[in-house]
Amino acid sequence: MKRVLLFIVLLLPLGFASYELFFLENVKDPIKYIYTITGATATVILFATITISLVKKWINLMKYRRMIGLYGFFYAFLHFLNFFILDAELEISFVIKETLDKPFIYLGMIAFFILIFMAITSTKKLYRKYNSLHKFVYLALVLITIHFIMAQKSLSILQFIYIIIILVIAYCKLIDQIVKKNKLS
C-alpha cells in the first residue's frame, strides 16, 4: 500500500506538468517550465532520499529508499532530455559549447553523471561492490545546489526557503555522520 502511495505521490509533478503543458496549454515558455519542474522535483526527491535515514525512528521508509532515489534520477533524466532534445534540438555541438561555456551547465553535467553511476550501481549485487562510492551523492547534491543557485538570475522568497531547508538537512546529516563515527571509534 505504502509503495503504491509513494508511486502516485512521486508521479504527481509529472502528471501536473503534463496537464498544464498538454491539456491547459497555458505555459508561455515550455522549455523553461520543464527545466523548473524537472530540476526542482529531482532536487527535492534527492534531498528527501538522504533524509530517509535521519527520520527512520519516526517514519521508516528505508525499504523504499532505492525506489525514491531512482525517481529523483528519473526527473534529472527528464531535465537532461529537455536540454538535449528541446533546447539543443539534438545538436551535439550545442551541448558541448553550452557545457564548456557555462559553468553552471558543466556543474549540472558532473552531478548528472554521478547520478547515472549511482542509478546503475543501485542493484543489490552492484551496491554491495560499490556502496562506498555512493557517498558521491553528497558531492552531486553540493553541485546541484550551486547549479540551481547559479541558474537563478534572482532568488525569490520560496527559493530562499528551499535553500535554507537544504542547508538544514545537510547540517543534520553532517552531525549524524560525526555521531556515528564517534560511536564506532
Note the residues at the interface with ligand HEM (CB under 6 A). Answer: 32, 35-36, 39-40, 42-43, 46, 76, 79-80, 83, 105, 108-109, 111-112, 115, 144, 147-148, 151
Task: State which residue, 122 or 147, has the beta carbon closest to ligand HEM.
Answer: 147
Q: How far is the CB of 86 from ligand HEM (least distance, A)?
A: 11
Q: How far is the CB of 90 from ligand HEM (least distance, A)?
A: 14
Q: How far is the CB of 185 from ligand HEM (least distance, A)?
A: 34
Q: For helices 103-120 and 65-81, what crossing angle results, to 10°?
A: 140
Q: How far is the CB of 153 from ligand HEM (least distance, A)?
A: 8
CA atoms within a 13 Å half-sphere pointing along the CA-CB vector of 84: 8
Task: State which residue, 31 or 175, has the beta carbon closest to ligand HEM.
Answer: 31
Task: State which residue, 75 or 178, has the beta carbon closest to ligand HEM.
Answer: 75
Task: State which residue, 31 or 178, has the beta carbon closest to ligand HEM.
Answer: 31
Q: How far is the CB of 79 from ligand HEM (least distance, A)?
A: 5
Residue 2 falls in which region: left (phi positive, over 0), alpha (psi -120 to 50) or beta:
alpha
Q: Hey, what's the cell of 53?
A: 535515514
CA atoms within a 13 Å half-sphere pointing along the CA-CB vector of 128: 2
**Collapsing DSSP states into helix, strand and coil, what is residue 105?**
helix
CA-to-CA separations, 159 to 33, 135, 165, in angstroms, rounded = 15, 26, 10
Which residues, other chains included, contact 68 with Cβ-Cβ below 8 Å and sequence gap of 6+? 6, 10, 45, 48, 49, 52, 61
Task: State which residue, 6 or 110, has the beta carbon closest to ligand HEM.
Answer: 110
